[in-house]
Amino acid sequence: MTDHPATDDIVGIGFGPANLSLAIALEDAMRCGPLRPSLRFVERQGRFGWHRAMMLPGADMQISFVKDLVSLRDPTSPFSFLNYLHVKGRLSTFLNLKTFNPSRVEYNDYLAWAAEHFSNVVAYGETVEAVRPETRDGRLAAFVVEARDAAGACRLRRCRHLVVAAGGDPAIPPPFAALVQDRRVIHSSWYLPGIAAALGAPRLDGPRPRILVVGGGQSAVEIATDLGERYPRALIDLAIRGPALKAADDSPFVNEIFDPAAVDRIHAAPAPVRAELIAAHRATNYAVVDADLIQAFYARLYEQQVSGEARYRLRRSTRVLTLEATPEGLRASLRDDVAGTEAHQTYAAAICATGYARAAVPAILDPLRPFLAAGTADRHYRLPLAPAEPRVSLHLQGFSEPTHGLTETLLSILPVRAGAIARTILGAERGARAAIRPAAAAP
């Protein structure tokens, strides 16, 4: 363990799109003034990657490329998606596609291209285990970030401003959670390597593995489709809780919930009204599927009726009651809530496309709870601290949906949020340094 922690003014936990956008916002702000605080990001992955396990052939982004890392804050930034295309020599060719939605593979490449500019301030391959308080006269004076690298060595970093953007934890339903160590149980967050480990290479002969996919959202249908194409002999069951797959509502008025101004409106509303607003717009993001993908999946099911070969089954209004690991496979009990019947089926693998869980305050911050003045972030994504030095701040990205709305866990307003956090941190630094100068000059 390091005896004397390395000290930076700002430390970010996680280096996905959220903290990458913050790194750009901080660099832009520092370029325009003399203030240049030091910063460091800690990322558990060995290299930059965004949902690498879901880089499926033909999968496109569900938002416009204009909602990139910077354009909503500064459309002239060299970190825009358009400038990425220009640098890569693909701008004219991309325009010929006549689309606002790049492929997921290309967007990941864009993010990695932007992240490469900050490789000197990112510690990859380190998992943060806890954040501990450093006190002075009973007040919170700094944060000590405890991380462990791939070799098992402990790394300590000290900072005054901490930004946590560690992402959510895979949400795995109870029947599956007990078997999560079984390689045949897979969450969408590790789908591609997971299915390869569970089933091996595709075969054109031999047994026909039956695979269960659970979930009624975009990822579930994408995975079910990919399984059928990746494993030509596979039989796929898609189990959904509702009576039908539902299309995402992306109509213009509803889509305004993803505008930056919507965050002000939601945050300023009374708590019951906020909850109603978020619930009313759930069909934009949760348990919904793009209309074109629904159409393609429905056509696939219809073609089965024509050909007489049923490889896909949509199990509607269905819950998995139990899951048992056997040498032959995963034996599941499935209940059809409408018919009131229960069926048993053995699967070669089961994929949970069931999203992510996020606590209001991440568990790694538990040692700081005596200094948390509130359990939710303020409008500037800052957790109130007391008693604490004025120069100390703690920000969250991706954990404040109940107070800030549906944009909180999405890419929609990353640059606007990053800009707000950067201004808050740099404002605190300017104020603290201005106060230090007169004190140092005094006799």
pLDDT of 242 over the 80 cut: yes
Cis peptide before 209 (omega within 30 of 0): no
Backbone angles phi, psi at 80, to 5 degrees: -75, 160
Beta strand 318-326 pairing with 329-336: antiparallel
Last residue of a domain, one of 309, 331, 352: 352
Mean pLDDT of 94-111: 97
Query: Pick from 208, 288, 293, 256: which is nearest to 413 by CA?
Result: 256
For residues 152 and 193, state if they share a domain: no
How many beta carbons lie within 10 A of that of residue 75, not counting itself? 12
**What value does the mean pLDDT of the chain take?**
94
Q: Are residues 380 and 390 in the same domain?
A: yes
- High-pLDDT (> 70) share of the chain, %: 97
Helix 17-31, helix 414-441: angle, nearest 10: 50
Yes or no: say if 224 and 213 are a contact pair by the CB < 8 Å rule. Answer: yes
- CATH code of the domain covering residue 371: 3.50.50.60
Query: Which among 80, 78, 56, 45 has a CA at the least distance from the CA of 66?
Result: 80
Whole-number Å distance between alpha carbons of 315 and 317: 7
Mark whether 363 and 225 lie in a shared domain: no
Return the pLDDT at 348.
Answer: 98
Q: Say yes or no: 307 and 369 in one domain.
A: no
Long-range contact list for 295-302, CB < 8 A, 24+ apart?
296/225, 297/221, 297/224, 297/225, 297/245, 300/225, 300/228
* Pair of tokens at residue 26: 């901080």
Q: Is pLDDT of 95 > 80?
A: yes
Q: How much is the pTM?
A: 0.94
- What pLDDT sits at residue 4? 62
> Long-range contact list for 54-57, CB < 8 A, 24+ apart?
54/104, 54/188, 54/189, 54/191, 54/192, 54/219, 54/222, 55/104, 55/105, 55/108, 55/192, 56/104, 56/192, 56/222, 56/223, 56/226, 57/226, 57/229
Q: Which helix (H) or strand (E) holds 252?
A: helix 252-255
Residue 298 is assigned to a structural domain of this protein? yes
The model's confidence at residue 408, banded by pLDDT at 50, 70 and 90, is very high
Q: What is the pLDDT of residues 153-169, one digit of tens each?
A: 999 999 999 999 999 99
Rounded Cα gap, residues 425 and 443, in angstroms? 30
Q: What is the largest CA-CA distance in the chain?
A: 92
* Same domain, residue pair 161 and 181: no
Residue with tokens 């209001």: 360
Q: Between 240 and 436, where is the model more confident? A: 240
The SS3 call for residue 161 is strand
Query: Could you tell me the two tokens for 344?
Result: 């048993």
Task: Residue 395: name the closest of 416, 421, 375 by CA.
Answer: 421
- Amino acid at the residue 395: H
**What tens digit of pLDDT does each residue of 258-271 get?**
999 999 999 999 99
Last residue of a domain, one of 300, 334, 352: 352
Of 222, 223, 218, nearest to 410 (Cα)? 218
Distance CA 421, CA 394 (A): 10
Residues 314 and 187 in one domain: yes
Helix ranges (DSSP H) in 32-90: 81-88
> 85 and 226 share a domain?
no
pLDDT digits (tens, 9 = 90+) for 70-79: 999 999 999 9
**Closest by CA position to 364, among listed 11, 7, 122, 39:** 11
pLDDT band per the 50, 70, 90 thresholds, residue 203: confident
Whether residues 150 and 52 fall in one domain: yes
Q: What's the confidence (pLDDT) of residue 206? A: 78
pLDDT of residue 1: 44
Residue 434 lies in a domain: yes
Band of the pLDDT at 6, cuts 50, 70, 90?
A: confident
Report residue 179 as tokens: 């078997």
Distance CA 119, CA 110 (A): 15
In this structure, the answer to whether residues 241 and 321 fall within a common structural domain is: yes
Structural domain harbouring 332: 170-248+285-352
- Amino acid letter for position 210: R
Q: Which residues pair with 133 in a beta bridge?
A: 143
When pLDDT is cut at 50, 70 and 90, the band that residue 442 belongs to is low
Segment 364-395, tens digit of pLDDT:
999 999 999 999 999 999 999 999 998 999 99
Dist. CA 41–CA 117, nearest whole Å: 13
Q: Are residues 114 and 185 in the same domain?
A: no
Please tell me whether residues 52 and 159 are part of one structural domain.
Answer: yes
For residue 267, being part of any structural domain is answered with no
Number of domains in the chain: 2
Measured CA to CA, the distance from residue 104 to residue 293 in angstroms comes to 15
* Pick from 48-52, 136-140, 197-201, 439-443: least confident: 439-443
Instruction: List, in sequence order, every residue forming a beta bridge with 351; answer none if it has no partner.
Output: 186, 213
CA atoms within 13 A on the CB side of 438: 4
Classify residue 275: in a domain, yes or no. no
d(CA 170, CA 197): 19
- Decide: helix, strand or coil at residue 154: strand
CA 185 to CA 117: how far, in whole Å? 37
- Are 12 and 146 within one domain? yes
What pLDDT is attached to residue 433?
A: 74
Write phi, then psi, for 217 (nearest 5 degrees): -105, -170
Q: Binning pLDDT at 50, 70 and 90, where does residue 115 land?
A: very high
pLDDT in tens, 287-319: 999 999 999 999 999 999 999 999 999 999 999
Q: How confident is the model at residue 173 (pLDDT cuts 50, 70, 90)?
A: very high
* Residues β-bridged to residue 145: 131, 157
- Does residue 266 belong to any structural domain of this protein? no
Q: pLDDT class for 204, splitting at 50, 70, 90?
A: confident
- Cα–Cα dist 17/114, whole Å: 10
